[in-house]
Structures are given as structure tokens and as C-alpha cells.
Amino acid sequence: MLKQIEGGVCAPRGFRANGVHCGIRKNKEKKDLALIVSDVRCRTACVYTTNLVKGAPILVTREHVKDGYARAVIVNSGNANTCNANGVEIAEQMCALVERYTNIPASDVVVASTGVIGQELSVAPIAAGMPDLVSGLGDRSSAAAEAIMTTDTVKKEIAFAFTAGGKECRIGAIAKGVGMICPNMATMLMFITTDAAISSQMLQRALSEDVKRSLNMLSVDRDTSTNDTLCIMADGLAGNAEIAAPGADYRAFCRALHAVTVAMCRMLAADGEGATKLIECRVRGAKTQKTADLCAKSVINSNLVKAAMFGADANWGRVLCALGYAGAAIDVDAIDVDFASSAGRVAVCRSGRGVSFSEEEAKRVLSEREIGIEVDLHGGRRCATAWGCDLTYEYVKINGDYRT
Amino acid sequence: MLKQIEGGVCAPRGFRANGVHCGIRKNKEKKDLALIVSDVRCRTACVYTTNLVKGAPILVTREHVKDGYARAVIVNSGNANTCNANGVEIAEQMCALVERYTNIPASDVVVASTGVIGQELSVAPIAAGMPDLVSGLGDRSSAAAEAIMTTDTVKKEIAFAFTAGGKECRIGAIAKGVGMICPNMATMLMFITTDAAISSQMLQRALSEDVKRSLNMLSVDRDTSTNDTLCIMADGLAGNAEIAAPGADYRAFCRALHAVTVAMCRMLAADGEGATKLIECRVRGAKTQKTADLCAKSVINSNLVKAAMFGADANWGRVLCALGYAGAAIDVDAIDVDFASSAGRVAVCRSGRGVSFSEEEAKRVLSEREIGIEVDLHGGRRCATAWGCDLTYEYVKINGDYRT
């Protein structure tokens, strides 16, 4: 009963969005300011980066959603507003601007920034951009998704419809990813809207549980950002009986939320900086969940595995090596490894030893855009999936010259 | 009283070495088999990779040095002899070949292999190469250093003279590095010889202490290899009174050992796969040694910092970011960061905030071959140095196509 629909963050009833170019970025073709507003106050839950260096917007947002409610999200790209002396002040001014132009109290505004660290963010272009941003609010999820992009090559939005309490509910999201992606809490920036009625407590619980199996299993480059923010707002306009306890409705909500976050993880990994391939590592047969998680993430994070995937090289020894230093107690002599894609499947390792395979066939399998690395630890029944991408010349190029 | 001298592993009295092409590698120009022998039995200490997947040679070496003695080292490049069903058998055959051609008991032979994982290593070319390898034994440290290279672009050897108990002692080493370098115990392969007389216990203690401040602080790509082996052999021929307890002689020995290992770390980092720059991160003002270590290694390991260094981009926000996720309890609002090289020094961050600096000057500083990233945590008195290199197109190229 889960159906993908159009509309991104504006698919759920009661949400409008927009994105404009206000001038934080020099390139006038590139939108750099986004706004999402709800017709009514929303139950709101967030998770943030675990990095000790936290962007100033996170400090302000944390205060604003302390009461479990928010009504708007303002986001700029082009500047992270992090490690600046006046960062908190600027983030508060952004929220005040939302209040001035929409009458939504500043204390109900979620604020986020993404871009370069350590350069002062001027509020002037943001103030100048507000009239257009607000007057254009509507069914414009795509404009908002565009405005939060940095080196993303495609905008990320998605929405699903599901049923809870006999009512059709909707959930939608926009996100940005690319570099500094190794969330321990959330990815760079993701904003989810839903019209399902759900209590604050169940909303936070659903979000906190979900990230363990979604965004925390995503890694583009192992660098946990200073500004990661994942925010979900629920305005309750679907008319379902409020989800206030575990049960069938809560499970339906969690399934829909997970569909959103996993779809986003795949999009974020596939569009990792410089990436040409989405890599999905599926580990099964683990004794504990922690072992499954550590092993899947260790493979996804290995530069040597990532570079081999870029070269479509079935160098499975690097997968074994990454499993060996994952920090989990595993029996390395029991490990099986397969490479899989839409072009087929190749068994490359059985019981920790190489098996003979056709290099030609392996090359064909690994030349696809989506690669599965399948690991069976033969040690138990837990499994985990992690998402990442290959390591390419382009990653080095983008990151060797990001600020210029 | 520490003087750099020529001769590598053959600088200490009693050691001979050689390296030949025996045919494990197709390229006849590339030596692939090395041997080091001592005239007498040596006190021998080793440290190995912490990777759970361990090369078969490590299993055999561990048995052979259990009694604290060895007399020869045989090493091949081109094949790691790891994850193969007959790995231990082949490693034992290599030791038996040494016995056959030198009369040194197989149980006194240290064996190591480096190269591709998971391809069977044939002993035939090694057997065929033994006569030349043994007949050419002499003052040929360089030939041995060449024979253990994989994608290394320069051979690594060094030697020092020092004084203990009134006698001139010598210590020398050869090493190989490049990829899969993030030792938790030792780097890929390093063999150290010394003619100092020192007890087995003090030798192991000196080595185990030393790696904490040397090889464990080196990271090329965060991938801890399956085959890392660091071995030191002391034949006692310098004639000094045996170093059997802490004291001035032990300190002199440790200083010489540290001079060897640090020089090697710098060489290994500078010649990291695809590297154009040596990066040295010096952290001071840490409350604990663990904090200092975690912070220095986190900076050295960040792909984003490494790529910025490749681009000579003073993107200090990435240094702050890496410190923030290092896993240490630090006050991010107290951090100072400078970039330094032979071209000068630029202060880029004070108290966790950016300070204005000349981009042109920073570019000049960061365009050198050796870059220092200097971090003051202002939280205590402990310090640490870690070594790494930049992340380049060439790293991706080498590792996207290593087996072909």
C-alpha cells in the first residue's frame, strides 16, 4: 500500500515551497535560498551531525524545535555559516526574516546552511531575496531541492502515499548530499514533510530508529560534516487518527519513512562527489547487528575498494581486507563474497579463499552503474546494507579545487 | 651522537643482503625476491598487522620467531600469498629453500610477501632464483630494498650510527609502503638490522613502544593491510655490553631506532600511492596522548583534507571538521590551525574561527612538497605527529587498475 507519487515536499497536504537565487553564490543561474512552509504548526523531529564542530544553524534550530514544533524551514547553499564569530546571530536573523515576510514566528523556523566553512555569511542577499522567495511559494518542491544543491549534479526529491487509520497519507522529501557525507546521525541536509497525524514522541522515535538503517549506513567519503541536519515535519492534515502508539498505523508510517530515506540514500550515494557508480554492500550471516553494520560500512568506506569499483576491477582481496579491519569479531575463513549487478553475478570468494571466475564476466558485471557487493559471514542471522560510491579522478578534482 | 650513514640493512656488522628477479613478476627489469642474512643468530622482535585477515607468511613467521631468534629474512613482491588455500605451505617452502641454500635452519627464517591478495603463489620461480640470490649475498641492501617494492616509486633504506656502552653501534633498515598503509602495528614491510647487543625483552619493548609514535601514526589510505610486518634483528656484533635494562644505553638505542622509523615514515608517506606531497600533522596542547593521536590521525586520514592539499587549497574548515569527528573530547572553540612549509607559515584559524590571510601566500606555502598542518588544541600538554600524503588522480588511477 505504498505508492510513489510526484511532488516532493509539497506532496503532503498543507506544504508549500520555493527556491530562488538571492546572491550568496556568484553564479546567477544557481539558486541558493530555499523555503518550505506549512499552513499549520507541525510536529517536528530532527537529528543532527555528531561532529563536535557544529554549524551555527544547528545551534539555533535545536532551540527552535525544543518544543517539538516548527512551521517553516529556511536553507541557504554557498556558505555553511560554520566557524564564524557571528554565526548564531546570522542564523537568527535568517529566522527573523522568515517571520517578517510570512508571520510565522522565528521560534518556529528551522534554519540550515551548506557550503564553505569559515567564511562569514552576509544576511544582505538573503534579506534582498525574501520578497521573491515568499511570493513564489507554491507547489515548487523542485525549486527548493535545486536551491540546496552544492556540487550535487541532480536534485533529490521523492514522495510516497500510504494509508494510516483508513486515510491516505503522504510523505515527501528533498535532500542534498555529495561531499562530507558519512553521517553518524543524518546526511548533509534532508527535509521530510508528511501530512500524517502523529505524536511528537512517535515522530522522533520513528526518525531516530530509521536513521540507524538508512542515513547512518551511507558514506561517500567518511568525512562527517559539521552541518548534517535531517528534519521531519508532520502537519496532520491527512485526517487520520493521530498515531500515538506502536501498532499497524505506526508500522505503515515507518515503512513509508524508510522508503523515503532509503531512496534518498541511494540517490545521495549515486551522486556522491565525482561518483560514476552506486555501490551497495549487503552483509548477511552476522552474529550481531553491530558486526553487520561495521562490516558493511568498512567495505563501503575503503578507498581501495572504491577505486577498484571505479576501474571495474574484481579485486575481492580488498573486500576481505576491509572486512578484516572492520573492528568486528568475524571468522575470516568463513567469508563468501559475490559481485552482482543487472549484468549478472560472480562468485569471487568462498570460505575466505579465492575461487576461479571469468575476469571478462566480472568486468561486465562491474561495468554497470549500480554494483552490489554481497558478503556472507556465515556467523549468524543479522544483516545490513550500506551505500557508497566509487572513488574517481573527478572526486579529487572537485575537492582539490572546491573553493576556487 | 646519532649520525646518518650509508649501507641500509648491511650497515650493521654481520649482515648481508641481496635482491634478484626470479620471475614472480612478468617484468624482468623488476626485482621480486629479497634475502637478508646474518652471520650469527639474532635476537629478533616483530610486530604485525592487526587485520583479522592475515597473510600466510605472518602465520609462519610468528612461529619461527616465537623463541626470540632468527637469522634470515626472505621476502617476495608481486604476490601477497594471502587468502590462498596453500598459503602456509608455500611460506614454509620458502623458508626451507633458505635452509637448503644457506644452511640456516628454516625455523630461523622470517618470511614475508607483498602484492596481490588471493592469487596462488608458485614456489617454482623462487626455487629457481635461489642460487643467484644466495651467491650474490653481500653489501647489497639496495638490491633487497628494490626487490620488495610494489608500486613504490623510490626504494627506501636508511642507516644510523650511535654509541652504546662506549662502542659504536649501527642500525639500518629497508622498507616498502605505498598502498594499504594505515598500520595499527606496522607498515607494509620494514626490516631493521642492528649490531647492538640487546636482550630479547628490551628489543621487543623498544620496538613495541616505538611503533606507537612512528608507524602507527602513518596513514596513506586508511586501509590496514593484511601483510604488515615490521621485524628487527640484533646480532650483537658491535661488542657493546648487552642492553638488558632501561638506562642510558637503552635510551641511545631507542633514539637510534626512532630516527630510523621516523625517517622511514616520512619516506613512506612521501611515496604514498600517487602522492605529490608529504603531509605532517603536528598536534599540540592535547589533554591526553590519546586525544593528540586521534586528532593528528583524523586530519591525516581525511580525504577532503588530502584532496585540498593536492590542490594547494587552504581549506582549513576541513581540518576543523576532521578534528570535530576525531572521537576525542576537545574544545572546538579553542583550536588554532596554521599551515607551514619551507615557503613560510600561515595562520588560518584562531579559537575555532577563521582569521583573514593572504590566499596567495597560502597557495605558495601549500605548493611545497612537504606540508605541515599545525594544530594547537589549547587543552593540555600532550602532542603527536602523524604522517600522510595528498589524494591525487594518480592514486585513483593506480588503484582502479592495479591488477591489470
Residue pointed to by grid coordinates 598459503 = B87
Tell me the C-alpha distance between B387 and B319, whole Å: 15
Give the DSSP H/E element, type plus range, for residue A41: strand A33-48
* Closest to B174 in 3D by CA, of B197, B160, B157, B194: B157
Same domain assignment for residues A71 and A218:
yes
What residues in A contact B82, CB-CB < 8 Å? Answer: 317
Q: What are the cell numbers at A262?
A: 532509503
Same domain assignment for residues A161 and A31:
yes
Mutual angle of helices A303-310 and B393-400, in 10-degree steps = 70
Q: In terms of DSSP H, where are the helices of B103-242?
A: 124-135, 141-147, 200-213
Tell me the C-alpha distance between A342 and A358, whole Å: 17
Q: Within its chain, how far is the Cα of B36 from the centroid?
A: 17
**Do strands B156-164 and B167-176 pair parallel, antiparallel, or not at all (unpaired)?**
antiparallel
Same domain assignment for residues A151 and A173:
yes
**In the prediction, which pLDDT does A185 show?**
35
Residue B53 has its nearest CB partner, among A84, A310, A321, at A321
Q: Which amino acid makes up residue B154?
A: V
What residues in B contact A396, CB-CB < 8 Å? Answer: 307, 310, 391-393, 395-396
Q: What is the pLDDT along chain A (404 residues), one digit of tens a residue?
A: 799 999 999 999 999 999 999 999 999 999 999 999 999 999 999 988 777 888 899 999 999 999 999 999 999 999 989 888 899 999 999 999 999 999 999 999 999 999 888 889 999 999 999 999 999 999 999 999 999 988 788 899 999 999 999 999 999 999 988 655 554 433 468 899 999 999 999 999 999 999 888 888 887 666 666 777 889 999 999 999 999 999 999 999 999 999 999 999 888 888 887 889 999 999 999 999 999 999 999 999 888 899 899 999 998 988 998 999 898 999 999 999 999 999 999 999 999 998 999 999 999 999 999 999 999 999 999 999 999 999 888 878 777 765 54
Q: In terms of DSSP H, where are the helices of B286-392?
A: 289-301, 303-310, 317-324, 359-366
Same domain assignment for residues A209 and A245:
yes
**A67–chain B nearest CA distance, Å:** 27
Tell me the C-alpha distance between A34 and A37, whole Å: 10
Beta-carbon contacts of A271 under 8 Å, excluding residues fewer than 6 positions away, are: A152, A153, A154, A156, A177, A178
**B310–chain A nearest CA distance, Å:** 6
Mutual angle of helices B303-310 and B317-324, in 10-degree steps = 160
CATH number at residue B396: 3.10.20.340
**In the prediction, which pLDDT does B213 show?**
87
- Chains A and B: how many Cβ contacts under 8 Å? 194
What residues in A contact B316, CB-CB < 8 Å? Answer: 118
Exposed/middle/buried for residue B163 (C-beta within 10 Å: 0-12, 13-18, 19+): middle
B249: helix, strand or coil: helix
**In the prediction, which pLDDT does B396 show?**
80
Q: Are B191 and B175 in contact (CB under 8 A)?
A: yes
Same domain assignment for residues B308 and B369:
yes
Same domain assignment for residues A247 and A379:
no
Residue pointed to by grid coordinates 515568499 = A134
Q: Are B370 and B267 in contact (CB under 8 A)?
A: no
Tell me the C-alpha distance between A355 and A333, whole Å: 13
* Closest to A122 in 3D by CA, of A87, A159, A151: A87
pLDDT in tens, B44-64: 999 887 778 888 999 999 999
Exposed/middle/buried for residue A29 (C-beta within 10 Å: 0-12, 13-18, 19+): exposed
What chain B residue is nearest to A332 in terms of C-alpha separation? B53
Neighbours of A96 (CB within 10 A): 15
Tell me the C-alpha distance between A396 and B304, whole Å: 9
Residue B51 has its nearest CB partner, among A325, A392, A398, at A325
Length of chain B measured in residues: 404
Residue B313 has its nearest CB partner, among A118, A330, A401, at A401
Same domain assignment for residues B80 and B30:
yes
Same domain assignment for residues B175 and B264:
yes
* Sites in chain B below the pLDDT cut of 70: 178-188, 220-224, 401-404
Q: Are B238 and B164 in contact (CB under 8 A)?
A: yes
Same domain assignment for residues A243 and A374:
no
Tell me the C-alpha distance between B258 and A172, whole Å: 58
Residue pointed to by grid coordinates 608529504 = B278
A278: helix, strand or coil: strand
Residue pointed to by grid coordinates 549487503 = A282
Q: In this complex, do B223 and A393 lie within 8 Å of one another by their Cβ atoms?
A: no
Same domain assignment for residues A254 and A394:
no
Q: Are B206 and B292 in contact (CB under 8 A)?
A: no
Q: In this complex, do A83 and B401 lie within 8 Å of one another by their Cβ atoms?
A: no
Residues β-bridged to residue B36? B17, B73
Q: In this complex, do A402 and B179 lie within 8 Å of one another by their Cβ atoms?
A: no
Residues β-bridged to residue B175? B156, B190
Same domain assignment for residues B134 and B69:
yes
Tell me the C-alpha distance between A38 and A162, whole Å: 20
Tell me the C-alpha distance between A368 and A373, whole Å: 13
Tell me the C-alpha distance between A217 and A60, whole Å: 27
- Which of B310, B399, B402, B403 to mutate against chain A (most A CBs within 10 Å)? B399
Q: Which amino acid makes up residue B245?
A: A
**A3–chain B nearest CA distance, Å:** 38
Q: Are B253 and B169 in contact (CB under 8 A)?
A: yes
What chain A residue is nearest to B322 in terms of C-alpha separation? A223
- Which of A306, A325, A335, A371 to mutate against chain B (most B CBs within 10 Å)? A325
Residue B316 has its nearest CB partner, among A118, A226, A401, at A118
Instruction: Please give the tally of structural domains in chain A.
Output: 2
**B7–chain A nearest CA distance, Å:** 34
CATH number at residue A31: 3.60.70.12
Q: In this complex, do A53 and B320 lie within 8 Å of one another by their Cβ atoms?
A: yes
Look at residues A246, A270, A294 and tell me which one is the last residue of a structural domain: A270
Same domain assignment for residues B396 and B358:
yes
Beta-carbon contacts of A27 under 8 Å, excluding residues fewer than 6 positions away, are: none
Parent domain of B353: 278-400
Tell me the C-alpha distance between B14 and A124, whole Å: 75
Q: In this complex, do B321 and A226 lie within 8 Å of one another by their Cβ atoms?
A: yes
What residues in A contact B318, CB-CB < 8 Å? Answer: 117, 223
What residues in B contact A324, CB-CB < 8 Å? Answer: 51-54, 224, 226
**In the prediction, which pLDDT does A30 show?**
93
Q: Are B189 and B175 in contact (CB under 8 A)?
A: yes
Q: Within its chain, how far is the Cα of A134 from the centroid?
A: 26
* Closest to A190 in 3D by CA, of A49, A318, A371, A65: A49
Look at residues B270, B291, B315 and tell me which one is the last residue of a structural domain: B270
Read off φ and ψ for residue B373, nearest 5 degrees: -110, 110
**A399–chain B nearest CA distance, Å:** 5
User: Could you tell me the CA-to-CA distances from B58 to A69, B111, B211, B268 in Å, in that order?
Assistant: 59, 7, 18, 21
Residues of A annotated as catalytic are 187
Length of chain A measured in residues: 404
Catalytic residue among B44, B49, B187, B229: B187
Tell me the C-alpha distance between A255 and A259, whole Å: 6
Exposed/middle/buried for residue B26 (C-beta within 10 Å: 0-12, 13-18, 19+): exposed
Give the DSSP H/E element, type plus range, for residue B76: strand B69-77
Look at residues A213, A236, A270 and tell me which one is the last residue of a structural domain: A270
User: Could you tell me the CA-to-CA distances from B189 to B152, B155, B376 in Å, in that order?
Assistant: 12, 12, 33
Q: What are the cell numbers at A57?
A: 544553524
